[in-house]
Structure 1
């Protein structure tokens, strides 16, 4: 290239004239910026500059050639002569591109001669480079920004993040610091370096649970839960979990219930995590939302209080159901088909009849409704008992009859017992009882049809009872009776044993009394009565 310049200088007229010269300075420019190539020239005093021009060395046809700037492609309006025709020969290049890099020569003419610079100005084109260290950082970590120009001359740099100016080049990263950073030369902020992204990682924030469709859920419809969050890196499908009343339901960002039921009502929230903790917490919960499942009335029933209705008294019929929202109740009374069907008799959960009459009897039902629909209860029969006697008399008639029979039997038993007690008391008061046909107060004769011998001996309670009386024993004890007379009939002996209540009052009533010689006093509290009964032949 030096040889080319030498040839140009030799062949150019006026080269060897005195006081001619051009002073040029190399320049480093940033791509996209504007740069001025400094240039000063000189010539003899008696010369007047008529024309000036700049050339750029181009390698054409296997050789270097000086090409006027006006002939270069895409240079129009980008190259501008900013010097004059006296001494300044400066050249401005706007929106410098890498193709502008190279050697520039200045040439001028006077009325007598022309001159081309012996040296050239070298233009270097560089770019601003942004360096962000580190480019990925966890929230709270330190970040530094560096702008590299490539030119040896220092430049004043300004910083931008997503079109917003940045003051500090060293800072602790926050999630809002994430973005694309670029730098530019002061005064030429429109020309910036290629942006570099700063990735600030942080735990999930703004965790939110939504339900679709919004509003109240209706039984039998489909409901979808969706969980979202602001996190870096984003929360994956497995990083989301859905909970109901504190119990795990499923994992994933979405959860659908195709046939919603009242049992699905409750408090729901979702949980999000991306392996980055915040204050030692790895999973962040959303706020709770309440799912309220609405449904039409079911399980409708009627109760009556009191169960047995008495004429003239009050009765309450109560209708109950399960519904969401709560049901409204309407009461109807059944009538025959000729009367036109059911008659509305009231509204509200309780139908109260203060004084029941015969016209109130019949079949009743209630209808429970809400904005989702309605259903009827089963029928309830209201029957009336006219009064207390009808209500209680029929029920207690068997009881009253039983009580009457019991009292009658008790009275009869009491009379019998009283009579027996009076009779026993009268007998205890008699001192002597005797019935005799012979040896008594009246004498018997043969003409007498029946002769009765009665011998009663009241023994002390200490004597033993005689259990066996035989004719031989009678004969040994009473010899006067060994041979029955012709006047006597066959004699039969019987034994009666009576235990006295008070031994001290025992008396001896002796009319032909016989005692067992083997009996001992004090062995028994019984006494023996012997009776002789004579039958006529």
Structure 2
């Protein structure tokens, strides 16, 4: 070997000699090998002095699990041909640094010479492990000489390390996710649960999970796994009711509230409301005996001490619970409340039901001396009686029915008001008296008008008689002029619009005589003249007849 180089016996050979417990043989063999090396150096020394030998390396940094190429080039004097190449790794044994051929240390699949026998001496190392880190040397043999480099190539083996600080954040906080490689010019990509993802900057609930970094293009080379814990307020708050669908009075239902939250919502973090009124806390709530008052809008509320956009309490959607029940509180009303004979009457049946009652039946109780029987008398919510009679009075009840059940009302007594005929007679007589009074007033007005006309005519007649007959005597007696006024009522049936039934009656004709005394203007007339003219018609008689038609 050339001066400055050193070749030692492979380790396994030395170890085998130790196992033989023959220290003398070991020392003898080592001396023989050293003597051979010096003899070889003496023989080839002239060749060294006549040429230029060199090996150039580049230090490498490799990540665990990757492949790396140890860059290497070499040179030697012209006129020689390379017959053998070898890579060596420097190991320290018992405090001494020695070189061992890689072909005897490692599998050829992990270390592969990719250079040539001219000038390229590159070495490729596959699946780099931490134990591969160290100093590497290159040596070659030509047709006349052998050379092993004094310099070396340094291989640094690093591991990818993923770091999250802090590992637990709240939604919306900054995320500091770092990948430490230790080797420069390494392109890193991030993977979440095996899928490539961009590195998160602001934490969201979707960012929670397990991360690791890898060499881009070599995703199998991965770092350690780190977990990002993102705390967030409840989302997808859901309220379920079992059994679903329509529920009937007396049955039971269970409400269950659930959510997606970090940290999970505890039992005390759930609240149930009906029509915005608090019902209970806890994830489940059961109503064992449903009543109509349990109908309403139900909503679940979840809380885990984490706010979202300023809200600490997150609500679910509403569930409308409608409790169905048969008719209840069935009642009967009458219009009018006190019907008269012959009038129309409506009996109305009312009830509380869900769904609303859609079938009504009317019954009437009939009593006899031996038994009491209930007979069906009609259907529909309203029972109409067009003309009230005595046969319609009695006890009535109605039955209301829907798809859930049925119920009867209490019995209601229907009575009738009878009209008082004596009272009607008094009313008729009073009406006739009013009519007669009006007729008398009219007759008196007519008579007064006629009387004024008659007085004027009488004065004219009396004046003519005195002038024509030359009466000289004054009347000693007072002559009287009789005026008769007859008023006759021919109607026998008075009108009465205040009663529904007319009662017949008749009024006899009445004759009324009225006497009017007329005094002569000349009181000095002699009785003889009065008697002389007694045979004549001295007084004027006026008959006035008034007839009123019906």
Q: Is TM more than 0.5 here?
A: yes
The verdict on how the C-alpha distance between 1:25 and 1:335 changes in structure 2, with shifts beyond 3 A counting, is same
Could you tell me how far 1:30 is from its partner in structure 2?
0.9
User: 1:380-413 deviations in whole A, cap 9, x for unaligned?
Assistant: 578787xx7xx345xx99x99xx9xxxxxxxxxx
Pick from 291, 311, 330: which aligns with 2:360? 330
Contact 1:300-1:319 at 8 Å conserved across structures = yes
Matched, 1:86 2:118: yes
Determine the structure 2 residue equivalent to 1:276.
Answer: 306
Matched, 1:237 2:267: yes
Separation (CA, whole Å) in 2 of partners of 1:251 and 1:205 = 18
Separation (CA, whole Å) in 1 of partners of 2:119 and 2:176 = 47
In terms of mean alpha carbon deviation, does 300-309 or 239-248 score higher? Answer: 300-309
1:104-503 matches, cutoff 5 A: 104-112=136-144, 115-151=147-183, 153-162=184-193, 163-166=195-198, 171-278=201-308, 280-306=310-336, 313-331=343-361, 333=363, 347-354=379-386, 366-371=398-403, 373-378=404-409, 380=411, 391-392=418-419
Separation (CA, whole Å) in 2 of partners of 1:52 and 1:343 = 124
Determine the structure 2 residue equivalent to 1:436.
Answer: none
Q: Secondary structure at the match of 1:238?
A: helix
Could you tell me how far 1:119 is from its partner in structure 2?
4.9
The verdict on how the C-alpha distance between 1:59 and 1:7 changes in structure 2, with shifts beyond 3 A counting, is closer
Q: Name stretches of at least 5 consecutive residues in structure 2 with no aligned partner.
A: 10-32, 367-372, 427-550
In terms of mean alpha carbon deviation, does 17-26 or 133-142 score higher? Answer: 17-26
Q: Name stretches of at least 5 consecutive residues in structure 1 with no aligned partner.
A: 404-537
Separation (CA, whole Å) in 2 of partners of 1:220 and 1:267 = 19
Determine the structure 1 residue equivalent to 2:56.
Answer: 23
Could you tell me how far 1:129 is from its partner in structure 2?
1.5
In terms of mean alpha carbon deviation, does 256-265 or 94-103 score higher? Answer: 94-103
Pick from 61, 75, 78: which aligns with 1:45? 78
In terms of mean alpha carbon deviation, does 46-55 or 265-274 score higher? Answer: 46-55
Contact 2:5-2:147 at 8 Å conserved across structures = no
In terms of mean alpha carbon deviation, does 231-240 or 341-350 score higher? Answer: 341-350
Separation (CA, whole Å) in 2 of partners of 1:283 and 1:59 = 67
Could you tell me how far 1:347 is from its partner in structure 2?
4.8
Separation (CA, whole Å) in 2 of partners of 1:333 and 1:363 = 8
Matched, 1:66 2:117: no
1:517-536 matches, cutoff 5 A: none
Separation (CA, whole Å) in 2 of partners of 1:294 and 1:112 = 110
Separation (CA, whole Å) in 2 of partners of 1:198 and 1:345 = 79
Contact 2:133-2:156 at 8 Å conserved across structures = yes
The verdict on how the C-alpha distance between 1:266 and 1:206 changes in structure 2, with shifts beyond 3 A counting, is same
Contact 1:361-1:381 at 8 Å conserved across structures = no
What TM-score results when the alignment is normalised by the length of structure 1? Answer: 0.58
Contact 1:363-1:379 at 8 Å conserved across structures = no
Separation (CA, whole Å) in 2 of partners of 1:280 and 1:143 = 21
The verdict on how the C-alpha distance between 1:345 and 1:199 changes in structure 2, with shifts beyond 3 A counting, is same
Separation (CA, whole Å) in 2 of partners of 1:28 and 1:255 = 64
Contact 1:57-1:67 at 8 Å conserved across structures = no
Matched, 1:32 2:33: no
Could you tell me how far 1:56 is from its partner in structure 2?
4.7
Pick from 124, 128, 131: which aligns with 1:96? 128
Contact 1:6-1:118 at 8 Å conserved across structures = no
Separation (CA, whole Å) in 1 of partners of 2:412 and 2:92 = 117
Separation (CA, whole Å) in 2 of partners of 1:134 and 1:37 = 39
Q: Secondary structure at the match of 2:234?
A: strand
Separation (CA, whole Å) in 2 of partners of 1:44 and 1:344 = 133
The verdict on how the C-alpha distance between 1:346 and 1:96 changes in structure 2, with shifts beyond 3 A counting, is farther
Q: Secondary structure at the match of 1:318?
A: strand
In terms of mean alpha carbon deviation, does 179-188 or 7-16 score higher? Answer: 7-16
Q: Secondary structure at the match of 1:234?
A: coil
Separation (CA, whole Å) in 2 of partners of 1:342 and 1:33 = 101
Could you tell me how far 1:326 is from its partner in structure 2?
1.5
Contact 1:302-1:377 at 8 Å conserved across structures = no
Could you tell me how far 1:127 is from its partner in structure 2?
0.9
Q: Secondary structure at the match of 2:299?
A: strand
Q: Secondary structure at the match of 2:405?
A: strand
Separation (CA, whole Å) in 1 of partners of 2:385 and 2:105 = 114
Could you tell me how far 1:299 is from its partner in structure 2?
3.0
Separation (CA, whole Å) in 2 of partners of 1:286 and 1:112 = 89
What TM-score results when the alignment is normalised by the length of structure 2? Answer: 0.57
Could you tell me how far 1:206 is from its partner in structure 2?
4.0
Contact 1:204-1:284 at 8 Å conserved across structures = yes
Separation (CA, whole Å) in 2 of partners of 1:346 and 1:108 = 123
The verdict on how the C-alpha distance between 1:302 and 1:124 changes in structure 2, with shifts beyond 3 A counting, is same
Determine the structure 1 residue equivalent to 2:537.
Answer: none
Determine the structure 1 residue equivalent to 2:8.
Answer: 7
After superposition, the CA RMSD in angstroms is 4.3
